[in-house]
Structure 1
Amino acid sequence: MEGRGGQPESYCHRQLVDAVRYLVAGGIAWRAVPADFPAWDRVYAFFRRWRDKGLVAEFHDRLRDRVRKTAGRDPEPTAGIIDAQSAKGAASVPATSRGFDGGKKVNGRKRHIVVDTLGLLLAVMVTAASVTDREAGRTLLERLRERHWRISLVWADGGYTGRLVDLARDALRIALTVVRRTDDATGFVVLPKRWLVERTFAWLMHSRRLARDYETRTDTSEAMIRATSAHADSQYGCPYPYVCIYGGPDASYPIVAEFQDVTDYFQSTNHGPDWWVVNTRNQDYTHLQLSNGTVYCLPPNGNLGGGGTLTGIVISNGGSC
């Protein structure tokens, strides 16, 4: 982040990033940024500059690559999952970039995303809610190909059938595979691969700023999604201030339990034979107990995977490992 000279900046970048994260998580207006942070207009100017220069996307992508390396994956993914979500538009959303989704009965905008097999964001595009998945899918897949040259397989739902499948294969060299419900399925059914992108949408909904679309410009909406995803990526989708247990050896598996109470005793749990634990707390340590009596210590903002049956967990203020 070396500049070209001139007057030094008045505020630390970390303070500005924290202010943006606070705004995104709390869903507040720019003018409502607390006095503990730099002045709201300086925070907005910082965010606007990063948005226009593509630094929000770069910040997010670098963090995602580090998360993939930590999980034992190559930084460049080879497969992804595509889907869309309609969100109501606030009064600040202009008529030129909003529409009506007849299927979901939503007046606002639509968020189109592609995620990897860990649920981490690869590409995002915001359009009017009236734009169909097929129409937006072409542009989104082109963006995906420009950024991730190794992508060769993308799973999708039935909204992406038709000519888009042929275009993805012939022009982009991507196998767009549609995952369908079986004819005899009734009610809610977890579909292979598609649940990963649905989980990412659930992660994004932890941010109150994304409960509906408040942004005047679509590129600002995309930047807000990336800012939210960057925080979710850093915690593997585990919301603060929880300690989350995943039902497998890494973060690609669903969260099966969440704990947040500080206690002086082991809270009962029963998960195994493989598990992954993420501690999102900034100061509290977590101790994990296995059925054979072994105890592991997890520091603040740490993660740990292992084997065996996990039978107890305790979150403690202070202490050490």
Structure 2
Amino acid sequence: MQQIPAPSDSSSETGRGAFGRLTLKPLSEQIIVITGASSGIGLVTARMAAAAGARVVAVARNEEALKELIAELEGKGQTAAYVVADVGREEDVQRVAETAIRQFGTFDTWVNNAGVSIFGQAMEVTTQDMKRMFDTVYWSVVYGSKAAVRHFKERGVPGALINIGSIFGDRGVVVQSTYSSAKFAVHGWTENLRMELEKEKAPVSVTLIHPGRIDTPYNEHAQSYLDKQPVHRGMIYPPEAVAEAILHTAQHPKRDMFVGSQARLGALFGNLVPRLTDKAFEWIMFRGQQSHERPSHPREAGSLYEPGYGMHERGTNEGFVRGGSLYVKASKHPVASTLAVAGLSALVWTLAKRKR
């Protein structure tokens, strides 16, 4: 595609608003880089961002899916480019940044979303598979963070770095020990990086997204050591809820964003009553992460080493899928939500008092 000049910056010279908070561009003026954009959360986010007027740089290993996505977006009059990259390789991630700058002149938001899981008990998973998964889930976030921060510092205009964590990065879980460990590392990296950048007043908004269990092809792409097919069972959330959180924090600096009360409560209970949470997970999560009847796909069918199928937003999970996340919507408007809860509480108290 032809090089398109970057949109003009409508923020102040310092990029800071009241109380020194960073001011980010509206989505319609942004160039947004999204890794893992060929399916699931990344695919939904790319479509929603483009629909809102953002220029999208879609990144994944599956070139066929990326070409299909770009053709779809351009067919709607939207602007997008793609980069085929293995984000577990630092040189590939640097090439993503260079391509975005060459195509659009800059980028304003970088979303580290790419990921893959391994379903299997801790002592069964090979060290080779564990290392490969850490390349994709953890090291890709480090590489992407460094590329984004360097660019935002060099241009001197605020940008957003958004790292996708997990409910299992706040609280360990059985059967996905490697994925959980890698997400714990993502959370730790993000927190430390945020504090250092804030201390030096760097023009970077750093957000950690904490999704609950999401209905994506995540289970199909995973490396499986199980006899039964990996799935999410119980309550799960649509990928649109995560995309909504991502696109909100691309425009409004926010430290953390939990997707679903499930994610918030999981972190809370894990900290307040860890032994009780251990026992609950031991009882629920072995069977809650695999199908009752369907046999697992072969281990080599996962996308740990090769690209998985693309252009699918949803997975083959067996849980109850919510229509969205009220927790995300409340988090977008914390003052209004607090006032609403306070008002409702006052109303309940008044009615109860009158009844007495």
TM-score, with length taken from structure 1:
0.27
Q: In proportion to residue count, which structure has more strand? A: 1
Greater relative CO (CA pairs within 8 A, separation 6+)? 2
TM-score, with length taken from structure 2:
0.25
